[in-house]
Amino acid sequence: MDADILIPITLFLCVTYAIKALLDARTRAKLIAANGTEDMIRSLVQNEEQQRRHTSLRWGIVLTSLAVGFGLIEFFGWDDVTPGAIALLLGATGIGNLAFYSIARNLPQR
């Protein structure tokens, strides 16, 4: 990949993440300043923690299933982009998302 393309994309992602982090911090500060109840703040923090764990779990499962898909493409010796290769990658992504849904549904809620 050419650096002329990669650098602006990376810059955009970093700026977007920084804005999101600032907005999240500002929202938390306003909740604390508004004398939110301790239970409400605790619930908010626990919910964010659980959401982060679920996001990590989802990406881990989806990326693992995509790795299996790429491994199968290599195993079959497909060197060109074909409908079969694309279907295999889309199927691996779908299976990863379905596996996440199944696992997340069975996880105990806090």
pTM: 0.63
Same domain (yes/no): 28, 45? no
Residuewise pLDDT in 10s, the chain (110 residues): 677 888 889 999 999 999 998 998 888 788 777 776 778 778 877 888 888 888 888 889 999 999 999 999 999 888 888 888 899 999 999 999 898 888 888 877 65
Same domain (yes/no): 101, 61? yes
Distance in angstroms (rounded) separating the CA atoms of residues 107 and 110: 9
Same domain (yes/no): 52, 26? no
Q: How many domains does the chain have?
A: 2
Range of the domain at 13: 1-36
Distance in angstroms (rounded) separating the CA atoms of residues 53 and 50: 5
